[in-house]
Amino acid sequence: MTIDTLTEKIGEYIKESDSFRDEVTVTIDRDAIIPVCCILKEDEDCSFDFLSDCCGLDRLPETPRFMVVYNLYSLKYKHRVRIKVPLEESDAEIESLTPLWNAANWLERECFDMFGIRFTGHPDLRRIITPPNMEGHPLKKDFPLEGSDTK
């Protein structure tokens, strides 16, 4: 996937773009995630039919603090794209991608578990890795290594 093709398809949503060793990364706003992903999935030249990863990022002390990173793959064309969405700490919430890719279900649960980022419209936003009675979100950079609870 080249930046030129991406600009042609979703240019109006792209805030920043970057290409490193043929890996293309685009940064978009939170509100654009659903329209952008719809285009990337449905468009004939893109057909990103596989959400290969979705993960969080804590950039403390920078602002905006969080980022959600989506890695898309097309089984048809064997090409990839990375989408980054910055999120403010005070409002770490983003639309869930489960309506587009079922793979998003557990990936978003992991992201919620580790960073506390909430995915609106997710069918089952529970913790997935840590125990249910756990307090806090362990991959946040200000999370104490030995845990916030003493037990």
Partner 1 sequence: MGVTKLGGATVITDSLDWITKWSQRNSLWPMSFGLACCAIEMISAAAARYDMARFGMEVFRSSPRQADVMIIAGTITKKMAPAVQRLYDQMAEPKWVVAMGACACSGGLFPTYAVVQGADEFLPVDIYIPGCPARPEALIDGLIKLQQKIKRDKVR
CB of 99 or CB of 147, closer to partner 1: 147
Should residue 106 be labelled a site residue for partner 1 when binding is judged by CB under 8 A? no
Should residue 131 be labelled a site residue for partner 1 when binding is judged by CB under 8 A? yes
Ordered strands of the 50-58 beta sheet: 14-20, 23-28, 80-87, 66-73, 50-58
Cα(138)–Cα(146) distance, integer angstroms: 10
Helix (H) or strand (E) holding 56: strand 50-58
Q: Which stretch binds partner 1 (CB under 8 A): 16-24, 54-62, 70-78, 128-136?
A: 128-136
Q: Using CB under 8 A, count the residues that bind partner 1.
A: 12
CB of 53 to partner 1, least distance (A): 22
